[in-house]
Amino acid sequence: MNHEAECITILIAEDHTLLREALHESLGAEDDLDVVGEADNGESVVQLARDLSPDVILMDVEMPGGIISERLLAIKRASPESRVIILTMHDDPRLVQSLLNHGVHGYLLKTISRMELIAAIRGVNRHPERRVLSVSQGSLNFNNRSAEGLTEREIDVLGHVAKGLSNAQIAARLFIAEGTVKRHLRNIFDKLGATSRTDAVNKATEASLLSRGIDRPFRCSASQM
């Protein structure tokens, strides 16, 4: 790999043949871009990353062959200096945050233009410390809210919510009034853009604001705030 060289090497990982071939042709038309490989599943992208050490890996989220988070870890081990750009149809704020936490350098929607994609590839290659995003304002707002973080007390409250405790039980555990628990929950919902207790727990976990030790699906009574 040579990030200072004029030519940027690219590995395209996309299971839809027509799109993969179109990307290859479109990117290959640029003098400074060189598509060195194509992958149509998770196993092959990891193997090609190891063999080719491309500057940039352009990857879809929903390829067959493993969970995306595990695939990213495998790519990181196989080719530590490669910059990964996700190209997807999914404008999901929790997915954006999760993949950024897993070290991707870009998250782009497939609705972007050819020149926007090329600019993103050049940008992450030239400035590896930067992240490029092409998502809706809602996703950006979610990431901004998540970045604010929760207070220590709010994390305590949400941690007990994740265990399935009621407001009254949380109040007893933390030696605070039940009304105070409700106020903390309102603040938590506000910061995370959550619509329910379940949604708040899931969003906080995905944004790494809450311990990932809670792996099982969380459910609670709809009657509680």
Give residue 210's pLDDT.
Answer: 62
Give residue 40's pLDDT.
Answer: 95
Sheet holding 83-88, edge to edge: 33-39, 8-13, 56-59, 83-88, 106-109, 132-134
Among 97, 103, 6, which Cα is nearest to 59's? 103
Identity of residue 167: N
Where do the CATH 3.40.50.2300 domains begin and end in the chain?
8-142
Give residue 96's pLDDT.
Answer: 80
Per-residue pLDDT of the chain (225 residues; tens, 9 = 90+): 554 457 999 999 999 999 999 999 999 999 999 999 999 999 999 999 999 999 999 999 888 887 888 899 999 999 999 999 999 988 877 778 778 878 899 989 998 899 999 999 999 998 887 778 875 555 555 555 554 567 778 888 998 998 899 999 999 999 999 999 999 999 888 777 778 888 888 777 766 566 443 333 333 433 455
Give the architecture-level CATH label for domain 8-142.
Answer: 3-Layer(aba) Sandwich (3.40)
Where do the CATH 1.10.10.10 domains begin and end in the chain?
149-206
Q: Could you give the count of Cα atoms lying within 13 Å of 95 in the half-sphere of its Cβ?
A: 19
Task: Tell me the C-alpha distance between 140 and 2, whole Å.
Answer: 32
- Whole-model pTM? 0.61
- CB-neighbour burial class of residue 87 (10 A; exposed 0-12, middle 13-18, buried 19+): buried
Give residue 159's pLDDT.
Answer: 87
- CATH number of the domain at 149-206, please? 1.10.10.10
Give residue 222's pLDDT.
Answer: 39
Give residue 127's pLDDT.
Answer: 87
